[in-house]
Structure 1
């Protein structure tokens, strides 16, 4: 019918390409081969029906990107060589069988081309266990017997006794929590117990890292570390939230040290969905770091396809600042800095009168009778600065 319509309209000579697309992120080569056979035969039949100017087949996109960083997972069951040779061989075979000249072949695998061009880099702001540091222990002159035993277990822990002492520590903690609920020990004793037991667990994990037991691995999952990152999953990784698309994640520090902490990642939005939870089947392990003494950055890779255009200004977080990195064999150069939108810009983009908001804030502050003139001046200066900055936390001056 299409050939008839084109011929009647004197447009048949303008038909130069047929196009199909069977889906994005094809993990299996078999459906593509089936589609190629169908499209190849359609192409050949159209040529025989008089479409003499037809000379191209566009096979669409769909070439899969390997997002999974775990060796036991395989999100693509074919190589690039197999993909290419299958396309060329199958179409060539059909054309030879039907005595039709071979077409030019086009493909539009945009995701495969652009996914790797962008990396999200974000600092870790907090660890959930930073309240369990030994420096925060505050013992009494006379401690309850169970606390004193935990002190000894922590002091004497070594590679030989760590499993036995770990069992004792967990048993003591359960008893202490029961005593606290019954009112027999106070909050300081409970705090000391939790810090000591957490430290014993962590040391046992490191002592047995080369030969972990099932029990220790289960403890890792149960006592996973929560890493608070200066980013918004809704803005920078929307496909994780919307499609459960996992992106490769790795630390940018301590690359010569094996990470051992089972990690879940939490962003700085106020939404409980802004979390990448720990998945025992696809585990993420990160380092145990002291953020008071060092920076710790994470990289999220293969985020160059769709994430920026799908990103949401959820909780008023717009895109992070962006930079282009030019790398050669000897050096690198940072160019094309694109700063993140300011808070006023975001308010304006979602329908508020940003200038009116700014004016009302300043007028309310100026008319306040609760602070001095100097405090008003200082606060106004800070307010002006903050309104023209983005919503992300600043980790440097």
Structure 2
């Protein structure tokens, strides 16, 4: 009989630091998952907070050791990208490891204020303010700067953004400029909608920033959607960005920092296949080489790791409610949840995560399709990252089978609308109803106002 445990041991180098098995039951970071299931039931999501800190320390160690090895002269600063998960328990855990913050909406700034009020950050903490900004966001940025947050740094996303700060900022402040990177060749658009065109950067500095003594250009920022990958596309975009940094540095002496965005990946299969050490060293070598060629000092480096920070800390656990053989070969295991509502990346982006049985590792395995509980035909999961199939243990008669999707800590709540939270904390719009009277006259009224920051903060676990 081919047991599930045999399949996993033959497919992967198992056990791992993260996954072990005792008495045919799975442990995740040393946590006996069956004990949690017995106490709380399913479906459930769990977050193992210590993993957040260990990921941060891993990245800091990689950059600092590589900088020392390569005699890189700049410094390294780790920012947490809040949009990966805004929850108070995530933010506070990350801040224990000495991170700074990258924001993407005006509602993020309410979180910054709440963390300052609780003493989790101070006015020296870097608040890197990214994104295309509505007035609310620009207002909060100006307010923080004027109140003494000396490292609250708006990253200019378009040419007209600085006009607002000129009108409202009363004190000297640092600013950055985001450069519009080219998208990968297979993308539908050639250039990112975010950031300032490369050709406009020096004019923006010389005409809008340099003449005003309040503003100091300290950072150039870029980000590419593919993340940090060993591809010709990534190295080409990084090189182009660093060359532009050197060009701007020659006319702007105070510029001394680049932000290379996020992009360290997490494991989407049980086995790691990403060489963090190699990529870190190559990034630093590339920056150092170009700066040496251009005759400018190496810049300080910021990163904004979001998925990497929080992704591997969480898991979603489900029960198999029943099995259904729909034809001669399609065996469905029905879960007590939904991929569309709980793990929308699986449905919308074909995202995959490590999937493991929690119990019954000593049972025979079989090929299955996993079905969610909604009535939508797209609510299924039938392939893993390492295989175009899913294998799970046979369900013993009268005994439940539990399964876990792991590394689900980033973006899932925002994309699935947990409690009303949206991606990047973009608020739900106000809703207006329109009708006609019997004589045909239009009438309209507000059904619901725009979502408030107070409602978001309550959902995310902050005091309001």
Higher strand share: 2
With structure 1 as the length reference, what TM-score do the two structures score? 0.50
Higher helix share: 1
Larger radius of gyration: 1
With structure 2 as the length reference, what TM-score do the two structures score? 0.43
